[in-house]
Amino acid sequence: MGSFEIKGNIVNIPGREIYYGEVSVANGKIQSIRKVPNPKSQKTNYILPGFIDGHVHIESSMLVPSEFAKLAVVHGTVGTISDPHEIANVCGMEGVEYMIANGKTVPFKFHFGAPSCVPATIFETAGAALLSADVDTLLQNDEIHYLSEMMNFPGVLYGDEEVCKKIAAAKKYGKPVDGHAPGLRGEDAKKYIEAGISTDHECFTADEALDKLKYGMKILIREGSAAKNFEALIDLMNDYHEMMMFCSDDKHPDSLADGHINQLCARAVAKGIDVYKVLQAACINPVNHYKMNIGLLKESDAADFIVVEDLKDFKVIKTFIDGELVAEEGRSLVVSHSPELLNNFDCKEKLISDFRFSISDFGETVYAIEALDGQLITNKLVCNPTEKKEFYECDVANDILKIVVVNRYKNAPVAKAFIKNFGIKQGAIASSVAHDSHNIVAVGTDDESLMKAVNLVIKEQGGISAVHNKNEQVLGLPVAGLMSNEDGYKVAADYTAIDKMVKEEMGSTLAAPFMTLSFMALLVIPHLKLSDRGLFDGDNFKFV
C-alpha cells in the first residue's frame, strides 16, 4: 500500500470540533493528523470517519456481498453489521461461510453475525437448521462478530433451552447479542434485555424505544426499502445519541444505488439534530458497540474515512478503506468478480389447478392479510371474497387479491389466503425472497397469472417476477434464490424496470411492492401472515 496526504476540514466527532488539517496515510494506517494553515481562498471539503450500517441483511439487496460493497462505498459506507440470517435459512452453515468468503474478495469491512433463529419458526418449511452447537462453532470464528437478532423473544422470556444456550455462547466469547422484539414493552422488555440482548431495530414508536432505552438497550433507527421508522424515532437522538445507530435492515438494489446511511444523516441534520450527535450514531457507535475493525479517524487507526462536500447534504467525494481509494465522485472503484453459485431449490413447476381457492379449504370466517405500506406488521381483516361455484375469487374492485406461498424445497400443496392493499388491477407478482424461510410468495388477481409468475421464479431457481397481460418480466436470483450473480448496477436497473412495471402497468400503490411482498410470510411479525403451511396468527403463534 502506498502513502499519501489529504487536506480538508477534519471533523473530530468525540471532541465536537472542526479544524483544517492534514491526514497522512501509509501502509493502510493513519500516521498523523495535524492542523495546518487554512487556505481561505478555496472551498474546503470535510474529512470524517466512514458511515456504518448498524444492521443489514445483505441478501435483501439481491446482491452478493462484493456487489453490495461496490454500490455502498459510493455513499461513504465503509462497513456493515451484516446478519446472514436469510442465506442461513436456505443453505445453513455453508451459506454463512459463502457470505464471509465473498465479502473478503473486496476492500470493504463486512462484520457478519451468527444467525440465532434458523429456522425462524417451526411453522414453516426452511432449507436448514442451526442448533446451539452450530452457533457456538460459528461464534468461535474471528470472522463472526456477534449473535444475530434474537427474534424468538418468547423463547428468551420463557427460558427455552436452545435459546439460552445460544445467548450463553455469545457471552462466553464476549460477543454482543442483537435483539428483535417488535412491540415488547414494560417488564417483558426489561426481562428480555436483562437476558443479555443489547440492541433492537424493530421499534416503530418513540414510546416503545424509550421503554427499551431506559433499561439500557441501544436503539437502531431503521429506514429500509419497506420498513421505515426514521420519522417516528429521530427526535430521540437529541437526548439519546450515545445509545443510537442507523440501519437499513433490508435495502433493495435500486434504493442502495440511490443512497445509504448518508441520506439518513442529511435528513437528521435537516430536522435540526446536532451534527455531532448524528455522526456519533452513524460513524462511531456501531464501531464501539461491536468492536469493529474500522478506523475512527485517529492516529494509528486503519485509514477508513470519507471526504464529503459539506455537513448538510453529505455528498461523498471520496471513500477510503485501509488507505485504498474505493470510490470517487460518485464512481465505485471496487472491482468484483463473478461469484460462484450456491442454492437449495427443488420444486417443480405448478399447474393452474394448484392456485384455485376451494371454498372447502377455508373456515367459516375468511380472513385477509392487510399489508401496511412502510411497515412489517400487518392487520387481520374479515373479508367476503367473490364465490364462483365451489371456488373463491378475488374482489379486485375492493382490492381483495389472492396470496399464495409455494414450498421451494420440495413439492407440496400451495398455501392460500387473501390480501388487501397491494392495489394490483390485473396480473401477479412473485418472489423467492420471502422472509424468513424464502419459499415462493406471490400475490395476484387470477389463477393463471399466479401460475405464470410462480413458474417464472421456479424456472430461474429463484428470483422476482411480474406478469401483466402478455408482458412478463423476471429477475433471476440464482445464488440461494436470494441474490444475483450479475453486476450490482445492472441488477439495480433490472429491478427498477420490474418495479416500474408493477406500479405503472399493474397499478400497485405500494412504495416497494416486492419488499412488502417478501414480508408477507414473516411469521415473527404480527398480526397475520402466510407460510407454506397455512395462514398464521402472529399474536397467538398458531395457525388460523
**For the whole prediction, is pTM greater than 0.85?**
yes
Separation CA 193–CA 260 (nearest Å): 29
Q: What is the pLDDT of residues 232-241, one digit of tens each?
A: 999 999 999 9
Crossing angle of helices 488-500 and 65-72, rounded to 10°: 80
- Give the H/E segment covering residue 306: strand 305-308
Separation CA 440–CA 454 (nearest Å): 7
Q: Phi first, then psi: what are they for 170, rounded to 5°? A: -60, -45
Q: What is the pLDDT of residues 174-199, one digit of tens each?
A: 999 999 998 899 999 999 999 999 99
| C-alpha cell belonging to residue 365 | 370466517
Q: Which pLDDT value is given to residue 42?
A: 74
Q: Phi first, then psi: what are they for 454, rounded to 5°? A: -65, -45
Percent of the chain residues past pLDDT 90, beyond the cut: 90
Separation CA 269–CA 275 (nearest Å): 6
Q: What is the pLDDT of residues 140-171, one digit of tens each?
A: 999 999 999 999 888 999 999 999 999 999 99
Separation CA 528–CA 386 (nearest Å): 21
Residue by residue, what is the 3-state secondary structure of 321-360? ECCEEEEECCEECCCCCCCCCCCCCCCCCCCHHHHCEEHH
| Mean pLDDT score, 248-273 | 96
CATH 3.20.20.140 placement within the chain: 3-332
Counting runs of H as helices and runs of E as strands, what totals does the chain give?
A: 16, 30
Read off the pLDDT band of 376 (50, 70, 90): confident
Look at residue 1 and tell me whether its pLDDT is greater than 70: no
Q: 3-332, which class in CATH?
A: alpha beta
Helices (H), 224-341: 230-233, 237-240, 253-258, 261-270, 275-279, 285-290
Contact (Cβ atoms closer than 8 angstroms) between residue 327 and residue 360: no
| Mean pLDDT score, 34-48 | 88
